[in-house]
Structure 1
Amino acid sequence: MGGRKRPGLGKQLAELHRWNAWLVVVLAVSGLLLSWGAARGWLGEGRVWLKQLHIYIGLITAVILVLYGPLMKRHLKQIRTRPRQKGNLAVVLVLLVGWLLSGIVLWQFRHLPPRWSNGALAVHDLLTWVGLPYIAYHSITRLRWARKPEKRAIRTTEEPERAAPGGEPRREPAYSAAEPQAWMSRKQFIQWSVGLAITVAVVPPFFRWAGRTLGDFGPSEAGGMTKETDPNRMLPPPEPLPDSANVIGGGAQGRFRVYTVTPLPKFDSASWSFTIDGLVDNPIKWNWGDFLQLKRVVQVSDFHCVTGWSVYHNTWEGVPLSQLLSAAGVRPGARFVKFYSGDGEYTDALSLEQAQMEDVLVAVLHDGKPIHRDYGGPVRLIVPKMYAYKSVKWLERIELIEEPHYGYWEVRGYDNDAWV
């Protein structure tokens, strides 16, 4: 019986390699765009679609790994005498499997313990820092022009012809003593140059990333949101209550990642104000000094970002949102609470029932210290039971409204109810 001839192992492996290479390129580009803070704003709703594309391509990569499984034994037998190829195969498999497993955890993080997400995100990032430079080096140094054999030195003397095994005469190459071969081949020069360029480009930011990420699994030294200098000029600084000063939760465990959709704003106590208006009986506008006189409370809660990372045991100090709403007097027609960021762009909203939850806080201190500008200070909203895009940074206005409001990320595809 006749039949279609099955492709050889070499052809099958080449086809899988080609598909895998293109998939990794798409994953790399989409992943870098998703993690690039500056791209969050201009991608807009496209960021949600890009994230879905990243997930689907990752799943297709898993299919490639499954297809490779039956060929692996034959492939290993084929390269058993080639240690460099075996090493490269091992590295690539570790990268792909690690990316896939950590990516699945990040994809399904809503159904898993939050600490799993922190670990998965760290692993995913680490493999990216290691894997992309490795893949770039491997790809560039294996391009056809990079593997072109070294040109032979100029032949200057005629060598006698020798008989080849088949009887045909052959010439042995002869080189001029005046022109010795180069100490480094063209291929070696390219390999060293590419390796050095990648090292210079990657190592410094990698160590900065490692320094930040190592804190994700232990207590922060001086409050997760504290930096030595703060561009905001808020005088006087808020005096912490005893529980806040003593950091009753023991200090935040983890590090906050700075995400913003606009340039980071700056604030000054001389011009800063906080307003409650809309459907209220008593619209109120506080300056900085008056706002600091409001009665504050201290609470300990976890902080979860929808991108997969969490910071645990944060000690927040601030004014309960329910207290502010009570002071303004909510009219019967008000059904939603809209929040305005001081960046002039970002907004979000909660239902009136959600806004009156006892742990929703308008915070001014974190772990006993003023909230740094980069993390939403001088005042930010904290909604512990929801993902952090509801916790509006640089909060400066609250409006009571009748109709639902869809915030910056909700109109770009995020859930309006952001329960953790």
Structure 2
Amino acid sequence: MVRLKWIHHLHGFIFVLLLLSGLFLYFPQTRTWFNEQQFPLVPFHIWISFLYVLVVFFSLKSVLNHLKRKPYIKYFNIWLNLIFIAIWIVSGMIMYFQIHFPVEIRNLAVSVHGLVTFLILPWVIIHTVGHLIGVKLPWPNWWRGKDPVPQTITENNLERRDFIKFTTIGILFLFIGAGVKWFQPILDVAETGNKRRGYFRIYNVTSDYPKYENEEWSLTIDGLVDQPTILKMEEMESLPSLTIIDDFHCVTGWSVLNVEMKGILVKDIFDAYGITPNSSYVTAYSGDNVYFDTFTLSQLLDEGAMLVFQFDGEKLVHSQGYPCRLYHPLMYGYKSVKWIDRLELTKNRGRGYWQMRGGYDLDGYL
């Protein structure tokens, strides 16, 4: 009994850590705050997930044996948890090993992973409140005790009030889960023409966006080049532009399909301004003065990398990198530096922001 009590407390503690870290990752504001504190929230959530699965696996037999002597509400609590755990594990594994799954499956896994987190909240709150402050909900005696099960239940013949109770609880859970839609960070652009599927989740490493206006923004290309160059937006827009429709992929598992992007190839900028590089490596800096990433020069000049200033025929919104962001069609989104304002050619190639803080791949190819 003492062992099971400790298992229960350990399960509850790890579950709360897992739930909170998942919620912190879901909301842009909290995710950004942890980034500012340089706390590795994503690795923390993953390692807590592994620990939680181990605790469940090694305690499951003892818990199920213990349930043989317990009322129905205990069965319900355990099996509800197991169902949600199974959904979390499957969707989480798809997100982690996303490269092996079609985009539609990955997007579904991301949505389901977040949805079940919100669906479990009502039960977590009820369960926690009941244990901590001794509040007992008016469950039927046969459900929370050892009273005989009513004949209407054993014969699967629910009375009207039973039907109303179960329907109300079901609607409550669905209402909480559907409420997720009110909190999703959706990109504020019209979905016309390209019939986009999916939505952008906004991930930043600072809580404030650079307050650029067109006349204030410029792109500096310097470092190991024969002729350092500074370009204003008017000069950028005077160059031949390119419009592509491509899929935007994030390393966390979600994708946005058929995004129309307008911009200028990095190669065309180098050619138009006669920029002669004396190095094979480039560091791209964000205007937030925090984020940066690194590339080989060939990755930017020979693989279709662009400086993008429009999504779907509209200027970028601030959260998406207004007025200009980098985009590499063969790499994950963390390589597409937002608010880009400098390309520095360097002698050696260092690691970027997420390579140092999150262990991300240096090249970030899809």
Q: Which range, TM-score by smaller chain?
A: 0.7 to 0.9
Q: Which residue in the other structure is 2:92 paired with?
A: 103
Hey, what does 1:231 align to over in structure 2?
Answer: none
User: What is aligned with 1:206?
Assistant: 180
Matching residue within 53, 71, 76 for 1:62:
53
Q: Deviations over 1:251-275 (max 9, x none)?
A: 4321101111121122112322222
2:109 corresponds in structure 1 to 120
The 5 A counterparts of 1:17-416 are: 17-35=8-26, 36-44=30-38, 46-47=39-40, 50-71=41-62, 74-75=65-66, 77-79=68-70, 82-143=71-132, 145-146=134-135, 206-209=180-183, 212=186, 226=189, 247=193, 250-262=194-206, 263-331=208-276, 333-412=278-357, 413-416=359-362
- Tell me how far 1:75 sits from its aligned partner: 5.0
Given that 1:335 and 1:352 are in contact with CA atoms closer than 8 Å, whether structure 2 keeps it comes out as: yes
Give CA deviations for 1:111-131 in whole Å, capped at 9, x if unaligned.
Answer: 433433322211111111122
Please tell me the residue identity of whatever aligns with 2:362: N
Deviation of 1:320 after TM superposition, in Å, equals: 0.6
- Alignment-mate amino acid for residue 132 of structure 2: L
Partner-residue secondary structure (3-state), 2:123: helix
Structure 1 CA distance for aligned equivalents of residues 184 and 23 of structure 2: 17
Query: Mean Cα displacement is larger for which, 281-290 or 380-389?
Result: 281-290
1:198-248 per-residue CA deviation (whole Å, 9 max, x = no partner) reads 99xx78963413695xxxxxxxxxxx5527xxxxxxxxxxxxxxxxx985x
**Is the CA contact (8 Å cut-off) linking 1:225 and 1:256 kept in structure 2?**
no
Q: Percentage identity across aligned positions? A: 31
The SS at the match of 1:286 is strand
Cα distance per residue 1:276-335 (max 9 Å; x no partner): 222333333222222211100111221111222111111111101111122344445211
For this pair of structures, how many residues does the alignment match?
A: 326
Aligned-residue offset at 1:73: 5.9
Tell me how far apart the structure 2 counterparts of residues 75 and 419 of structure 1 sit (CA, whole Å). 49
Structure 1 73/226 Cα, relative in aligned 2: closer, same or farther at 3 Å?
A: same
Which letter maps to 1:27? L
1:361-400 superposed Cα distances (whole Å, 9 cap, x missing partner):
1111112221111111211111121111110111222222
Counterpart-to-counterpart distance in 1, 2:338 and 2:185: 25
Pairwise CA RMSD: 3.0
Partners of 2:96 and 2:257 lie apart in 1 by 21
Return the letter of the residue paired with 1:252. Answer: R
1:338/1:349 contact within 8 Å kept? yes
Measured in 1, the distance between the counterparts of 2:116 and 2:277 equals: 54
Deviation at 1:141, TM superposition (A): 1.4
1:311 maps to a residue whose letter is: V
For residues 52 and 358 of structure 1, do their structure 2 counterparts lie closer, same or farther at Cα, with a shift above 3 Å needed? Answer: closer
| Counterparts in 2 of 1:328 and 1:401: CA distance versus 1, 3 Å | farther
CA contact (8 A) 1:281 1:328 kept: no
Structure 2 unpaired stretches of 5+: 138-168
Q: What letter is aligned with 1:209?
A: F
Match of 2:144 in 1: none
Moved more, 375-384 or 134-143: 134-143
Q: Check 1:301–1:37 CA distance in 2 against 1; reply closer, same or farther (3 A cut).
A: same
Aligned position for 2:160? none
Contact 1:40-1:260 at 8 Å conserved across structures:
no
Question: Are the structure 2 counterparts of residues 204 and 16 from structure 1 closer, same or farther at C-alpha, using a change threshold of 3 Å?
Answer: same
> Which is further off, 113-122 or 291-300?
113-122
Q: Secondary structure at the match of 1:129?
A: helix
Counterpart amino acid of residue 60 in structure 1: L
TM-score, normalised on structure 2? 0.78
* Distance of 1:358 and 1:386 partners within structure 2: 10
CA contact (8 A) 1:252 1:315 kept: no
Specify the alignment match of 2:363 in structure 1.
Answer: 417
Letter of the aligned partner of 1:273 in structure 2? S
CA deviation map 1:178-217 (0-9, x unaligned): xxxxxxxxxxxxxxxxx9xx99xx78963413695xxxxx
Match of 2:183, SS?
helix
Deviates more, 1:329-338 or 1:395-404: 329-338
